[in-house]
Amino acid sequence: MAPRGLWGGAIARAPPIANQTARTPKTGGYPPKEPNPTSKIVAQTTVWLDTNFVIAIGRQKIDLRNALELELGTFKMKLTPAVAFEINERLNDPKTRSNTRLGLHILQIKDLPKGKKGMADDELAEKAQKNQNRVATLDRALHKRIKAFGGQVIYLKDPKRVAFS
């Protein structure tokens, strides 16, 4: 007897596709695929974060990690020592503490280096120019400075919308 559907009609089962493997009887699922040897060679992009960008991520509650994974694939987020120093100062300020903490949590930055006082914009511009890495910032002057030598910048175009240039 053929299986019946919700309204009593017979359910037609489609034959398996030609290149589809049969289900295994023990697990009921498909057998695991063999790993692709060429998929191991992946260039990892480094994204350097600016202080104002971390605070804006916390304030606007944007899931930056998913947006970057869609655009860049594999990537690594880093902080320069001057940016780490500025973020530590913001964590001690009662006005910006909650947004900074939330931004660090969203970006999954757990261990914040101690850092040292310095010019964060100069360090970020140097990293972008030297290694052709991307910089995430909201600072328009830094944005123009990085774009002048052909660097790539990540910024917030609208609230909740990440843009790449």
Domain ranges (residues) in the chain = 43-164
What pLDDT is stored for residue 43 in this prediction? 66
Q: How far apart are CA 68 and CA 66, in angstroms?
A: 5
Average of per-residue pLDDT across 11-38: 55
pTM reported for the whole predicted model: 0.70
- Beta-carbon neighbour count of residue 153 at 10 Å? 22
Quick check: 21 pLDDT over 60? no
**Tens-place pLDDT, residues 129-142:** 887 789 999 999 99
The percentage of residues in the chain with a pLDDT greater than 70, rounded to a whole number, is 74
Fold of 43-164: Rossmann fold (3.40.50)
Examine the pLDDT at 91 and tell me if it is beyond 80. yes
The answer to whether 129 and 151 are in contact (CB under 8 A) is yes
Strand partners, 47: 77, 134
Cα–Cα dist 103/54, whole Å = 5
Burial class (CB in 10 A: 0-12, 13-18, 19+), 110: exposed
